Every structure is written in structure tokens, then in C-alpha cells.
Copies of this chain bind each other. A is one copy, B any other.
């Protein structure tokens, strides 16, 4: 008789209990390979259960490969324990104290708007989700609302059919790169790390372009990824002349310009610069995101692609069911109708303007700002040794601040990138105090030597 105990008071069906028990006996070596098992009839009698219970358990274990049925000769242990590794828990990663991240991507969201957020999800709770797989380009009403939003805020005159909803900027970048013929992708350097990683993930070579100028020769390049409204992470705004030259270069080389318009709404000084895509819809792929105006954790964005590319991407998405989730789309529709995005952006702009001044006051004596005051982070050029000391001091105080060099691939700019969106005022003050302590460890750098290092020569293009 098998050493098995079945418990009728547990909610687990007897057949499942039995198969689990036998599985353990085999895995544990109690029942060795080749061992003959009692017949289902005999075991049922032994255990006082119906024969269907034992049959079901054996069938299950045969399907799992633990047991095998030899025709007319009964049931045997089939598993070779050496071939069936014990799953067992894997060692957990040693957990370190969680740091408060001063990153470039976490926004400040006006808590006074939380009622609209709650309303949006309550609307989701009562709306009827679509039966099956829907149009991968997104909900028609949402595409309409986004077209209106983009016309109003970004100068893009669109038919709603031209807008496609994505699961965020890098999702959009992935989808469009996957639909382009082979060829390298030019990415600003320093630049958005997720963009370079996405291109590489798709097997495309990444060409580094110095971020302080717009590329004017795209020959041999399939696509150029740029952040013209607010270069990530330097903060530079691409001037009109460079924009026109970039589009000219793209036309000459038959390359696509990918415009990542990730945080253009957060200018404090002037109206947001219109989207590059408003200049040439057939040459520019436009990417937008809710990560800065709603929450990164929503994983939702949009893209506006040249007509033929749009069609190709949506055909592919239909094949692979590659769509943004319906609930998030439905919630964003509510938020747009409520004017939530506008209100959150307006409130955040005031907060950022104020915080950016505090960052500048703290770091100004030690470095040079890499761009104008805008967005939810600012980048400071300073010698690497200073930046590292400041970063370490912040880490000791419980804050994670990124080095500018972490955004560089072949560029050699050094300094700090300080996000101030995703923290409280008190946290920002504490983090700035720690950074300053670190920078003062050597005393403030003299004005002559502080600030920018000469940029490295442009990386060879291939």
C-alpha cells in the first residue's frame, strides 16, 4: 500500500490530493524508477475511494510523465529523478534599502485631481468591455479625443484614423522599427536609454549622434530618433533651422525621423514648441506618452505615423493581438474628457518651475546647466569626479540620482541628471542638501574649471 493520506475535510479534490502525494513520493525518491504501482482498483480499495479517483490520479501522473503504463502489465514509475529537476525556490535577490529615485521620468501629479482619476476608473467599472480582440489602433472615441488634444496642444492637424494608441513610447518605437526595412537607427548621445535598448533588441545597429546638434546627414540610416522639444537628457530645444535641415536630410536619405515628444508640455517660459511632425507628416513618426501627464505605470501612449507605415504597423498588430489594454484606454478617454491632462500639466508646470529654480540655486555653484529650465529634471555639466561624489553622498542619504555619463554611449559628457518630479518638496530639499555636501567634500569648484568639459569628438558613424 502506498504511504498516502487523503484528507476529506480539505477543499482539494481527492484525485488531486492523490496525484500530488504520489508525485512527491516519486520526486523524493521513495518510489524509484521502474517501481510497479498498485492497480487503480487495489489502490481505490486501500484508500477507501472510488476507482475513478485513482484512475484520474494515475492518468494525470502519466500525462505529467511521472508514471508510465506498460500495456497489459500495469503502471510503473517512469520518471528518472535526474531528468526531472526539483523546482524548489530560487534564491531571492538580496534586497537593499530602497532608494528614493530622482529620475527623469516620474512626474508630479496634483493630488487635487485625484477625484478625476477615481471617476475614470469607476467609469471603467461600469462600461462594457469589447467582446473579443478590438482594433489594435485603439478605441475610436479615444483616437478622436487624442486627435483633438494633439491639434490643440501640439499643432498637429489630424484625422482620428491617423492616431494609434500604444502601450507607451518605447512600445510605439518598437512597433514602428519592426515595420521598417533593415538598417541602423541613429540615436542622440547622450540620449534616452530605452530608445537605444529598443533598437538593439530589434537587432538594429545604433549609431551615436552628438546630442548638441541635429543630424544633417542621414545617408545609410533607416531612422533617426530625436527629442526636439526637449532633448533627453540635456534639455536642449532644437532650433527651427536645424529642424528644417533634419527633415531635408531625412528626405534625401529616405530615412524616417522619429520624434519622441515625451514632455513638451512642460515648458515654463514660452509656449511649447510645436511638434516637428507638424512640419512634415510623411517624414516624421510622432510618439507621445501619458507617462508624464498621468502616470508611467499606466503604460499608455500614442503615435502618429506616415500613412503607409501606419497601415503596415496596424496590420502587424492585428496579426499578433498587439494592442493597448481596453481598460487603460477607456480610463484615458474619461481623463481627456474631464480636462484632467490639462489641469495636471498646468499645476505641474508651476511646481516644476519652482523646483527647477531650487535645483539651480543648489547646483549652480558647482556646474553648468546643460539646457534651459524646462521639464521635470535638469542636467548639470561638471567633472565626473564631482558628480560621482555627489551621487554617492545622495545615495548615502537614501536618494538615487543618475550620472549624466550613464546616458552616454560614446559621448563623454559628465555631470548629474536630477529629476524633481517624483519626489516631495522635503525629499527634494534633502536630496539637494546631500548632493551639495558631496560636492563640497572638495569644496566648490572654482568657476573657471567648473562646468562643461569639451564634448568628445563626434563618434564615427559606422
Chain A positions near chain B (C-beta within 8 angstroms)? 15-16, 56, 59-60, 62-65, 68, 78, 83-85, 87, 89-90, 92-93, 101, 103, 105-106, 117-122, 124-126, 129-134, 155-159, 161-162, 167-168, 170-171, 174, 178, 193-194, 197-198, 201-203, 239-241, 243-244, 247-248, 251, 270-271, 273-274, 278-282, 295-300, 307, 316, 319-328, 331, 422
Q: A131-B106, A298-B325, A327-B298 are in contact. Are A193 and B319 (CB under 8 A)?
A: yes
- Bound-complex Cα distance A56 to B206 (A): 37
Q: What are 25 A-B contacts defined by CB distance under 8 Å?
A: A60-B273, A63-B240, A63-B243, A65-B244, A84-B279, A87-B281, A90-B307, A92-B161, A118-B125, A121-B124, A130-B297, A134-B297, A167-B167, A178-B202, A197-B316, A197-B319, A197-B320, A201-B320, A203-B203, A297-B326, A298-B325, A298-B326, A298-B327, A327-B331, A328-B328
A180 to nearest B CB, angstroms?
12
Do B121 and A327 touch (CB < 8 A)?
yes
A245 to nearest B CB, angstroms?
10
A153 to nearest B CB, angstroms?
10
Interface centre among A125, A156, A168, A171 (most CB of B within 10 A): A125
With a cutoff of 8 Å between Cβ atoms, the chain B residues found around residue A15 in the complex are 271
Interface centre among A101, A119, A193, A319 (most CB of B within 10 A): A319
Cβ contact of A121, chosen from B125, B271, B273, cutoff 8 A: B125
With a cutoff of 8 Å between Cβ atoms, the chain B residues found around residue A105 in the complex are 132-133, 321
A413 to nearest B CB, angstroms?
20
With a cutoff of 8 Å between Cβ atoms, the chain B residues found around residue A270 in the complex are 56, 59
A156 to nearest B CB, angstroms?
8
Cβ contact of A194, chosen from B159, B248, B300, B321, cutoff 8 A: B321
Do A320 and B78 touch (CB < 8 A)?
no
Given known contacts A65-B244, A90-B162, A133-B296, what 4 new A-B pairs fall within 8 Å (CB)?
A65-B247, A85-B282, A90-B161, A121-B122
Do B85 and A295 touch (CB < 8 A)?
no
A115 to nearest B CB, angstroms?
10
Q: A295-B326, A328-B325 are in contact. Are A320 and B194 (CB under 8 A)?
A: yes
- Bound-complex Cα distance A422 to B319 (A): 19
When C-beta atoms are compared, the residue in chain B nearest to A118 turns out to be B125
Do B297 and A133 touch (CB < 8 A)?
yes
A176 to nearest B CB, angstroms?
12
Do B132 and A320 touch (CB < 8 A)?
no
With a cutoff of 8 Å between Cβ atoms, the chain B residues found around residue A63 in the complex are 239-240, 243, 273-274
Do B60 and A274 touch (CB < 8 A)?
yes
With a cutoff of 8 Å between Cβ atoms, the chain B residues found around residue A161 in the complex are 89-90, 92-93
A436 to nearest B CB, angstroms?
24
Cβ contact of A56, chosen from B92, B170, B271, B321, cutoff 8 A: B271
A276 to nearest B CB, angstroms?
9
Cβ contact of A131, chosen from B118, B243, B422, cutoff 8 A: B422
With a cutoff of 8 Å between Cβ atoms, the chain B residues found around residue A89 in the complex are 159, 161
Cβ contact of A327, chosen from B62, B106, B327, cutoff 8 A: B327
- Bound-complex Cα distance A271 to B59 (A): 10
A256 to nearest B CB, angstroms?
15
Do A274 and B64 touch (CB < 8 A)?
yes
Do B243 and A297 touch (CB < 8 A)?
no
With a cutoff of 8 Å between Cβ atoms, the chain B residues found around residue A326 in the complex are 295, 297-299
- Bound-complex Cα distance A241 to B194 (A): 44
Do A132 and B64 touch (CB < 8 A)?
no
Cβ contact of A65, chosen from B103, B240, B298, cutoff 8 A: B240
With a cutoff of 8 Å between Cβ atoms, the chain B residues found around residue A203 in the complex are 202-203
Do B198 and A90 touch (CB < 8 A)?
no
Do A126 and B133 touch (CB < 8 A)?
no
Do A65 and B157 touch (CB < 8 A)?
no
A441 to nearest B CB, angstroms?
29
Do B194 and A319 touch (CB < 8 A)?
yes
Do A64 and B201 touch (CB < 8 A)?
no
- Bound-complex Cα distance A282 to B269 (A): 56
Cβ contact of A60, chosen from B101, B126, B271, cutoff 8 A: B271
With a cutoff of 8 Å between Cβ atoms, the chain B residues found around residue A131 in the complex are 106, 422
